[in-house]
Structure 1
């Protein structure tokens, strides 16, 4: 299976972002990609919650979703949209992934379950829950080459989510992101490799990179990690496109060699021992 990755520095103009993404998907499809992966918030990236709420659109009006459905149909290529800010009609938005089939249809949606609320030592403050409602359901989609599980950014830090996807048959787990630079430098590679090793799955992480129009800076380093934890490809810190071939037989091999998914048992409540004050 040939996987295309797009690494972007997404800005504040949804129409321009949509056009740039569609052009990248078109080039990767021309080069032979079976599926193309894009980053989290690839249609509009804005940490100003009021401006984000004003510019976010419903699915039927979102220019990025429309553009990528069109290029998928025209090029007969699947697209895993890392996520878009989607207006749902409720009080908050959804941070929503989409998987688009080669006919342009929406095969799956996943709303990010774990929201990033944190104050970082460098002074950056993130309150994702101020803009977004958390999702409640895990999602996988069956494609011609295998089964794809969906996660988004901060979900990376919750291994039980990835284990559940792997037990449900995921050969590949999409892990799009807009990681901050401090946490990316400290944790990005090791967490991606850990999730791949724990699940015996390929992890494909299309990422945002660079200094964005909203003032944030993201880490980049879009990755493809194999089920044994080897980094097959690292895109570095510049926007661009890449293609990586995956041998999906490695999934079965890794899970046979380390069958931890089948050995996992429910755990009892911890017992705290000791009689000290």
Structure 2
């Protein structure tokens, strides 16, 4: 674990902002850009109101998954890239940076994103923008069933960006921040790798079904917090609008968990700022250096698992040559991985 992190601020508050998603499906590229700009303006007003409500010690705001666009519903890769993917230096990021700077918060969110080195593709990216308006973390989602990921163009991606960009951790004055996108909370390897790199707070942008019963992702959040002695700030959608799927299918349950898996705050359904709580980084750091059975990260046998994982051939890297695939390619890839798992068992 990272012992060279910057000194933590006194305890501060984080917010999982449960705001609605206005889907851009069916719009022209120009109309989609206008809709996303309107969503950023609305979110900016909500962040400003939340800071007045929660208080001046609100320092971290996490937004839901693909909050500006919704998700593709069969659109070809090329069309979704053109209508819904943000350029890393484009106007949408500039506007989001303005929100963070205006309200003096670290703003984390998730969007589809283009990359000039892979012009035919898009990636799903999670980001953190600091109070100066600088993007201090950009994470491209690695586990994605129906979208391209860096693993699909692995060798070239590593040559261009290196492993630190694949598994980024932002060292900030509110702690070491990392992003986990949506269902990736179900993959313990990702969160553990980020924690080994020093991550103390997982910013979890998600858009998921909720239930009165504990869901798989709800279990995953608790497990990742306990396993890694890390806070989890998880923002779910406050409803989907603009597509035929019933709007409250992914709505509610935004929550903040402490480093022992306890729920500090949780929102019910609808748009909400209820999921805010205090994060005490000093207490977390004391716990991480305290010997005992509960210090799970210190007991990980990394060499053992590295050797065992290397024996198994599941999802393979470099499946794409940089060209935009047909949507059917993603299903075919999964079937091939299932076949290899079956043969291996």
With the length of structure 2 as denominator, give the TM-score of the two structures: 0.68
- Give the match for residue 77 of structure 1: 105
- Give the match for residue 226 of structure 1: 258
- 1:246 is displaced (CA, Å) by 1.3
Aligned mate of 1:244, from 249, 271, 277 = 277
- Give the match for residue 264 of structure 1: 300
**1:43 and 1:85 in contact (8 A); partners too:** no
Change over 3 Å in CA distance of 1:171–1:133 after alignment to 2: closer
- 1:193 is displaced (CA, Å) by 0.6
Whether 1:36 aligns to 2:61 is: yes
**Structure 1 gap ranges (5+):** 118-127, 272-277
**1:209 and 1:221 in contact (8 A); partners too:** no
- Give the match for residue 6 of structure 1: 17
Aligned mate of 2:48, from 26, 29, 44 = 26
Query: What RMSD, in angstroms, separates the aligned Cα atoms of the two structures?
Result: 2.3
Secondary structure in structure 1 of the residue aligned to 2:20: coil
- Give the match for residue 114 of structure 2: 87
- 1:78-137: CA deviation from partner (whole Å, max 9, x where unpaired): 2112x111122422212111211111111111111110x3xxxxxxxxxx22xx334661
When the two structures are aligned, how many residues end up with a matched partner? Answer: 255
**1:185 and 1:219 in contact (8 A); partners too:** no
- 1:254 is displaced (CA, Å) by 4.0
Secondary structure in structure 1 of the residue aligned to 2:198: coil
Larger radius of gyration: 2
Which whole-Å CA distance do the structure 1 matches of 2:172 and 2:308 have between them? 39
**1:228 and 1:254 in contact (8 A); partners too:** no
Which whole-Å CA distance do the structure 1 matches of 2:258 and 2:308 have between them? 34
Structure in which a larger fraction of residues adopt strand: 1
- 1:71 is displaced (CA, Å) by 2.1
- Give the match for residue 125 of structure 1: none
Comparing 95-104 with 44-53, greater Cα deviation is found at 44-53
**2:183 and 2:217 in contact (8 A); partners too:** no
- 1:174-227: CA deviation from partner (whole Å, max 9, x where unpaired): 111112358x95313211111101111001111113343223431431110011
- 1:66 is displaced (CA, Å) by 2.3
Q: Runs of at least 4 residues of structure 1 off by over 6 A?
A: none
Which whole-Å CA distance do the structure 1 matches of 2:236 and 2:189 have between them? 22
Structure in which a larger fraction of residues adopt helix: 2
**Structure 2 gap ranges (5+):** 1-11, 25-34, 155-165, 312-345
- 1:220-252: CA deviation from partner (whole Å, max 9, x where unpaired): 311100111101111122112243111223323
**2:16 and 2:256 in contact (8 A); partners too:** no
| 1:70-219 equivalent positions in 2, closer than 5 A | 70-81=98-109, 83-89=110-116, 90-115=119-144, 117=145, 128-129=146-147, 132-134=148-150, 137-181=166-210, 186-216=215-245, 217-219=249-251
